[in-house]
């Protein structure tokens, strides 16, 4: 009798945990979608002094999930190969991003948002996250990398989104 009772409680707990994961992902996606159109003026101050020919950033922290970070850095490399101009600007938050450069053999500069200004403007969105913004610094697209991503298709989508915004800016100047 006691074993059946414990088994039924265990099954109930496991089923609740599994359903929580799905709803947590939905809540996270809803939070990100709510940030579309938000202006992120702090990008300029965080990336000050850097020549940025692109409109795509990846924000991450050394405290992020290891497999998510690995996926994010793989996607950065692939997106950089597909961009018309520039490259993904990586921004570290919460602590010095140098360990990320070492861990993922990434030798380009990683900016450091010591005051977490960008995420503050975006209501502390989870990291790692790719953000594509337009010339007015309004967010147009988000992507949260995970280990289950198909890197080439996600990278193509990110590069395509970024390239189309860059092309529209260039054509408006002609």
pLDDT digits (tens, 9 = 90+) for 17-58: 443 344 445 555 666 777 888 899 899 889 887 766 678 899
Q: Would 18 be classed as within a structural domain?
A: no
Provide the number of structural domains found in the chain. Answer: 1
**Is 67 inside a domain boundary?**
yes
Q: Could you give the CA distance from residue 100 to residue 106 in angstroms, rounded to a whole number?
A: 8
The answer as to whether 25 is a domain residue is: no
Estimate the share of the chain in helix, then strand, then coil, as percent rounded to the nearest 5: 50, 15, 35
Residue 158 is assigned to a structural domain of this protein: yes
Is position 127 within any domain?
A: yes
Q: Which of 65, 111, 68, 66 is CA-nearest to residue 88?
A: 111
The pLDDT of 58-66, averaged and rounded, is 91
Q: What angle do CA 20, 24, 27 make, to 5 degrees?
A: 140
Any idea what the CATH number is for the domain that residue 139 is in? 3.40.30.10
At residue 169, does pLDDT exceed 60?
A: no
The reported pLDDT for the residue numbered 83 is 82
Tens digits of residue pLDDT in 118-166: 999 988 888 999 998 988 889 988 888 876 665 666 667 777 776 676 5
Say if 125 falls within a structural domain.
yes
Domain contains 49: yes
Question: Which residue has better confidence, 159 or 170?
Answer: 159
Q: Exposure of 128 by Cβ count < 10 A (0-12 exposed, 13-18 middle, 19+ buried)? A: buried
Domain that holds residue 116: 36-173
| CA 146/CA 150 separation, integer angstroms | 9
**Orientation angle between helical segments 66-82 and 151-173, nearest 10 degrees:** 50
Q: Is residue 105 part of a domain?
A: yes
């Amino acid at each position: 009798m006691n074993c059946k009772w414990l088994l039924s409680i265990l099954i109930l707990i496991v089923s609740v945990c599994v359903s929580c994961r799905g709803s947590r992902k939905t809540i996270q996606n809803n939070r990100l979608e709510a940030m579309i159109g938000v202006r992120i003026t702090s990008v300029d101050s965080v990336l000050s002094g850097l020549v940025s020919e692109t409109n795509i950033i990846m924000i991450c922290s050394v405290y992020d999930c290891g497999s998510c970070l690995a996926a994010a850095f793989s996607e950065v490399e692939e997106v950089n190969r597909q961009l018309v101009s520039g490259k993904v600007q990586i921004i570290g938050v919460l602590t010095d991003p140098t360990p990320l450069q070492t861990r993922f053999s990434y030798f380009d500069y990683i900016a450091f948002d010591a005051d977490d200004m960008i995420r503050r403007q975006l209501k502390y969105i989870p990291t790692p996250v790719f953000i594509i913004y337009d010339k007015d610094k309004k967010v147009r697209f988000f992507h949260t990398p995970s280990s289950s991503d198909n890197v080439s298709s996600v990278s193509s989508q990110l590069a395509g989104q970024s390239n189309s915004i860059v092309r529209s800016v260039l054509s408006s100047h002609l």
